[in-house]
Amino acid sequence: MEASFSRRQLLTPAELRGLTERSDLRGGAQMASHLGAIGLVALLHAQAMGTGWVWLTGAALGILLNFLYAAQHELSHATVFKTRKLNEWFGRAIGFVQIFPRDYDQIMHFAHHQYTQDWERDGELVREPYTLTSYLLWLSGVTYWRNRVFGVIRRARGIIIEPYIRVEEEAKVIRESRLHLMGYGGIALVALALGSWVPLTFWLIPMILTKPVHQLQNTIEHLGLSHEADILENTRSTRTNAFFRWLCWQMPYHTAHHTFPAVPFWKLRDLNAKIEDKAGEVHRMGWIEFQIEVIARLMAKDESQYPMNEVWVLPSSGGRARRLPAE
């Protein structure tokens, strides 16, 4: 999907070159801080076993694990590390933890960027329009995990139904799914042999139960916005604080990311400032503010009943300040 505005109006070629420079140091620091936080909380979780604190440490661990997908997302764009192989290696490892194979996710996500908000071709929009019930199930994580688990199993069986996966990509997607299932099966067998609950206690249960927190970011980025071919109209950024921007790998600057996907996460704040200087304030809402508004809207009527090329979920203050003039 080609944006209807010209990116040349937003950045000069020199500005873009500067913003797209990668750094192993900056990417490594963010990765180390996130993985280090997981390790520290996992240690606290182990010490909390048998006490009431286990609920708090388990929630913190699950949230950190779920938001590790933000790392996988950036690794798919090869913007975390300057050394390209590091992006692939870390991406595959994190994709395994997320039950979201890296190659499949990358194919789906690139289709999402190329055809953002196109019902037929956007890799992350190949679904039926939300009703209130289906939205709440997705927000809760019930249908999210169903899709992840059964999707891997189906593709491992050689059944590809996703329209965004090209014929020449099918073999690697199938192979990747089979390797994932072998890995999960191996972990299960070792855990059973040792009588260990570690995979459930420190991985699956915390991650599954805290998925609704992660869905607050996943659902806010495009839902309720226009389906027209204009990134400034079909993408939403998130109003949040410095901690959650770190946790999300700066993805709350989502409009900036979609406008120039090659810009590393740690430069998105600067990019966002340049975009807003030229084009006005981007669509932005807070997590809870958005959920209140979208649930109220879906209580009134389902997603299919709203105009396709109009914004139907807005903050109370209104929409964007202005649009770029046509060339």
Per-residue model confidence as pLDDT tens digits over 17-42 = 999 999 999 999 999 999 999 999 99
Say yes or no to pLDDT of 317 above 70: no
* Domain-embedded: residue 95: no
* Domain-embedded: residue 232: yes
Per-residue model confidence as pLDDT tens digits over 280-302 = 999 999 999 999 999 999 999 99
What's the domain range around 325? 212-314+321-327
> What separation in angstroms does the CA of 4 have from each of 8, 9, 109, 258?
12, 12, 21, 13
Say yes or no to pLDDT of 2 above 50: no
| Residue 67 and residue 250 in contact, taking contact as beta carbons nearer than 8 Å | no
Q: Return the pLDDT at 77.
A: 97
* Domain-embedded: residue 249: yes
Say yes or no to pLDDT of 6 above 60: no
* Domain-embedded: residue 91: no
Q: Return the pLDDT at 210.
A: 98
The residue type of 319 is G
* Domain-embedded: residue 252: yes
Q: What is the pTM of this model?
A: 0.94
Q: Give me the number of domains the chain comprises.
A: 1
Percent pLDDT > 70 in the chain is 94
* Domain-embedded: residue 23: no
- Residue for token digits 């990747």? 176
* Domain-embedded: residue 173: no
The rounded Cα 119 to chain-centroid distance in angstroms is: 18
**Which residue from 183, 244, 186, 184 is spatially nearest to 214, judged by alpha carbons?**
244
What gap in Å lies between CA 253 and CA 251, rounded to an integer?
5
**Which residue from 99, 106, 101, 97 is spatially nearest to 79, judged by alpha carbons?**
106
* Domain-embedded: residue 287: yes
